[in-house]
Structure 1
Amino acid sequence: MAEGRRLRADAQRNEDRLLVAAAEAFGRDGANASVKDIAKAAGVGVGTLYRRFPSKELLIEATYRNEVQRLCDAAPELAERLEPGEALRSWMERFIDFMAAKDGMADVLRVVLTDEGERLETRAMLARAIESLLTADMRPQAHAGDVLMALGGISLIAASEGRRDLAGRLIDLLLHGVLV
């Protein structure tokens, strides 16, 4: 979308459905996910997909940005709805799922997202989301940036082992270190 221009409501709904379907497809099938299947899962024609995202690379980039924003937006909602430890755990689980989907797009993302400043801003956004979940009754030495790095390590280990269950157990260990 051009800067400052808003999509019509129906076009925005189509884009939202496309980005959700793309995240699921890229998480499952990696960059080899079929754009035809993504369009079908979103309930739109492939022409609608290509009008909005003229290349698969642009779709992957938009999907990545959308998933980062959704992950960050989830933090305040979880903090309001759940007890602090459960909110943090739920967000950590979502982060692991986000990283698994990102892994499916990794090769294309390396080409598309080359700006170091953008990478650092994404990291800062994620750290701010974690910061909003760390409460006064948690260990004061638990810094958001450290928690983010630990989660990154957990996601890499679990992915290399092909074991999502391992990520859950490692999150429990990380939480044990964060919670008083």
Structure 2
Amino acid sequence: MRADARRNRDRLLAATGEAFAEHGTDAALEDIARRAGVAIGTLYSHFPTRHALLEALLREQVEALGDKASQLLDHPSPLEALIEWAHAAIAHTATYRGLAASMMTGLGYENSELHAACQALIQAGERVLARAQQAGVVRPDVAASDLFALINAVAWAGEQVPSEQGARLLGYVIDGLRPMS
């Protein structure tokens, strides 16, 4: 990539982060281009869809969550490892208003640029989940895709309710993942 194209791409990603922080993932793409000081055509030449723009913006965070899952495989408590990873995944998904809904939509469309990012998160969670299931602290019928959906649901709900209530919701979800007595 040429140096000027790289600068434009970097400015677009920075402007996207600002716009999404202010207005959520539905921020106007024209506003993002304007903030970056480029034409809308330049935005589309780098990122042909909103999901492509979002995926590029979140790529490092998704990789960091995969790394965190790998590190948590050494945690002495498989359940605490799962809880810690779920908190990190929810924090990631709550980065921008509307991100949880965008990720669920991206997961549903294999051609979406977000699909690979969602799959990476599912695979990262699957490793931590499988360890908790092997230890007998999580129900064996919980699939990694269920965990992904629950994390997105808690993140979405967290956008709708006061933060203290949102934090409690994860506790309820974790309790529901435990084996039935």
TM-score normalised per structure 2:
0.61
Q: Aligned partners of 2:16, 2:146: CA distance in 1, in Å? A: 30
Cα offset, 1:147, TM superposition: 1.0
Partner of 1:19: 13
RMSD: 3.9
Q: 1:36 to 1:121 in 2, by over 3 A?
A: closer
- Structure 2 unaligned blocks of 5 or more: 76-80
- Give the AA of the match of 1:134: L
Give the structure 1 partner of residue 88 of structure 2.
90
Match of 1:134 in 2: 129
Cα distance between partner residues in 1 of 2:122 and 2:59: 12
Structure 1 pair 147–13 and aligned structure 2 pair: CA distance change class (3 A): farther
Please name the residue that 1:102 is paired with.
Answer: 99
Give, in whole Å, the separation in 2 of the partners of 1:129 and 1:13: 31
Q: CA deviation at 1:72?
A: 3.0
**What pairs with 1:138-149 in structure 2 (closer than 5 Å)?**
138=133, 139-141=138-140, 142-149=142-149
Contact 1:96 1:167 (8 Å CA) reproduced: no
Tell me, in whole angstroms, the C-alpha distance in 2 between the residues paired with 1:101 and 1:27. Answer: 10
Unaligned runs of 5+ in 1: 1-6, 40-45
1:1-180 matches, within 5 Å, as: 7-8=1-2, 11-12=5-6, 14-30=8-24, 31-32=27-28, 34-35=31-32, 38-39=35-36, 46-47=37-38, 50=40, 52-54=42-44, 58=48, 60-67=50-57, 69-81=59-71, 83=75, 84-85=81-82, 86-98=84-96, 100-102=97-99, 116-118=109-111, 121-122=115-116, 123-138=118-133, 139-141=138-140, 142-159=142-159, 161-178=160-177
Deviation at 1:145, TM superposition (A): 0.8
Q: Distance between the aligned counterparts of 2:8 and 2:33, measured in 1?
A: 15
- What is the CA–CA distance in structure 2 between the aligned matches of 1:62 and 1:51, rounded to whole Å? 15
Identical-residue share of aligned pairs (%): 21
CA drift at 1:164: 4.1
State the shift of 1:53 in Å: 0.9
**How many residues in Structure 1 have an aligned counterpart in Structure 2?**
158
Matches of 1:22 and 1:152, distance apart in 2? 21
Give the 3-state SS of the residue equivalent to 2:19 in structure 1.
helix
Distance of 1:164 and 1:97 partners within structure 2: 13
